[in-house]
Amino acid sequence: MKQPYSPRSWSLRKKPIASPELLVGTAILAVLFNLIQGAKAQAYPDYSSIRYQLLDSYGGPSFFDQFNYFSGDDPTDDASTPNPSGGRNSVRVESKNTYNSGLFIFDIIHTPYGCGTWPALWLTDGPNWPNNGEIDILESHNHGSHGNEMSLHTTGGCSMDGGERRQSGTSLEGNCDIGSDGNAGCGVTGDLGTYGVGFNGGGGGVYALELRDAGIRIWNFPRASIPSDINDGSSPDPSSWGIPLADFPSTNCDIGSHFRNLNIVANIDLCGELAGTSTHYTQMYNCPGSCTDFVANNPSQFEDAYWEFGGIRVYQAS
């Protein structure tokens, strides 16, 4: 029978091998090994090139045929639920198709802005929120002049803290869990040219979202500097586009388990839980009166509160 691995049974010839000095050295090696393994576990993910092929295209006269209009009560406590006489309703459309991964190219000509507005372009599974996650690609409120905010909202166990991130935007909160920081999510902000007047003035541009197991990345390209492989639509390669505006790596978040069955959503809420608060409506943007009164009585003030898309294309790994 094989003898147990015990120094007590070793001969005197073998015992010097287990001297105190060697045992200390072995302990140091074990610590170093654990540190190396820990570093590997925290390593930046592999964003190597993936070959993408076109899956879905949204555009032209059939654009809205591929979306459903959301007709339920607004889940963000919108000012127009119920709708004030003479005022405006919020609007929200959701793609009929759902996605677990892919490369999403949004050609955007105009982003909405104006007092009382809270627009967003995002991916989520509404009936199963937050279990299947939320990816906010563009989000702003009121005049929208503070730049775009991109964020993730998840159940517990997804964080952007403690790992390397390669992005040009500015990181905000690190915990993506909706139960943390009042559901602030883990966000990244862009400069003033990434939304609103600054973005629209140059003819808009392209936002690109890559959703894959390695992580989630978002790029913004002004109209004059859209990569050629996006313009020709053949097989865009994010690995050639340089540093993204926002980077949400999988270092401390299992992307595949937190984001799945996602619809493309474009909406413009009015007031709601964000745009209508005194902090944002009055203090940040000095909008007049109360948000609900403004929405109810000034329908002509919303001429810039619209999305205009040149098209949306969705690619999947081939």
Among the options 139, 149, 210, 308, which is catalytic?
139
Cα separation, 318 vs 34, in Å, equals 37
Q: In sequence order, what are the residues at sequence separation of 6 or more whose Cβ sits closer than 8 angstroms to the Cβ of residue 173?
A: 180, 181, 184, 185, 186, 187
E-strand ranges in the chain read: 52-58, 67-69, 91-95, 102-110, 117-124, 134-139, 149-153, 170-171, 186-189, 205-212, 215-222, 246-249, 263-270, 308-317
Sequence-ordered alpha helix ranges (H) in the chain: 20-41, 196-200, 228-231, 255-258, 272-275, 278, 291-297
Angle 122-125-131 from CA coordinates, rounded to 5°: 115
Among the options 21, 94, 134, 210, which is catalytic?
134
210 is catalytic: no
Total residue length of the chain? 318
Tokens standing for residue 150: 């991109």
21 is catalytic: no
Q: Report the catalytic residues.
A: 134, 139
